[in-house]
Amino acid sequence: MGAERKSAVISPDNLKLTAYHEGGHALVALKTAGSMPIHKATIVPRGNTLGMVAYLPEKDQMNMSREQLLAHIDICMGGRVAEELIYGTGGVTTGAGSDLQQATNTARNMVTKYGMSSLLGPLYYTSEELSNLSNPDANPTLANPNPNLTLTPTLTLTLTLTLTLTRSLATCRRPRARRWSRRCDRCALPY
């Protein structure tokens, strides 16, 4: 986790927001099938972060299933959804930036490297092929695996990533998350 950043002066409001954000990650991790167990959660600033939730697998793991990858994306989105539930869509902060980056990278790898897309099929795309996606004529091996689709490969990739991330946001916004946010308004969080 790194050493505590003792020089950081964090306002009580920012600590509260960080607690909600990190609590969102933890809550989604506890309630999502396929997620790793939580090792530690903190709102103590360390390095460039204001807080973090750390996970440890129960045993050594060499491969990850689709369920585990989707759980990771859900957990990444949990902090942002917690901010939305507590502060509204206008109150979402930049604190979710690295979470969005992780979620997008995981979704992109699922689609382009692990063949986990029903739209693109079980294909692996190299970096060169990805750069040529907008021009299917540049690489004939990138033929559309589903002839019924009229989408360009680039649009298909973007659509697939968007659908994956949107599914994750919807999963995190289920009614139990809203109940959790109402309970947190009534409880006193230790800061």
d(CA 91, CA 131): 36
Domains of the chain: 12-186 (1.20.58.760)
* CB proximity list for 169: less than 8 A, separation 6 or greater: 77, 80, 81
Q: Is the Cβ–Cβ distance between 53 and 41 less than 8 Å?
A: yes
Both ends of the chain: CA-CA distance in Å? 19
d(CA 128, CA 141): 12
Q: Which residue has the higher pLDDT, 180 or 102?
A: 102
Q: Coil, helix or strand for 127? A: helix
Would you name the residues annotated as active-site residues? Answer: 22
Mean pLDDT of the chain: 75
**Per-residue tokens: 149:** 């689709």
Using a cut of 0.75, tell me whether the model's pTM lies above it.
no
d(CA 109, CA 122): 12
Range in 11-15, 56-60, 65-69, 127-131 the model is least confident about:
127-131
54, β-bridge pairs = 40
Q: Which residue has the higher pLDDT, 87 or 46?
A: 87
pLDDT tens-digit readout, 111-161 = 888 988 877 778 887 777 766 665 555 544 445 555 554 445 666 666 677
Q: Coil, helix or strand for 143? A: coil
The gap from C-alpha 121 to its chain's centroid, in whole angstroms, comes to 22
pLDDT tens-digit readout, 61-97 = 889 999 999 899 888 888 888 888 888 888 889 988 8
pLDDT of residue 65: 92
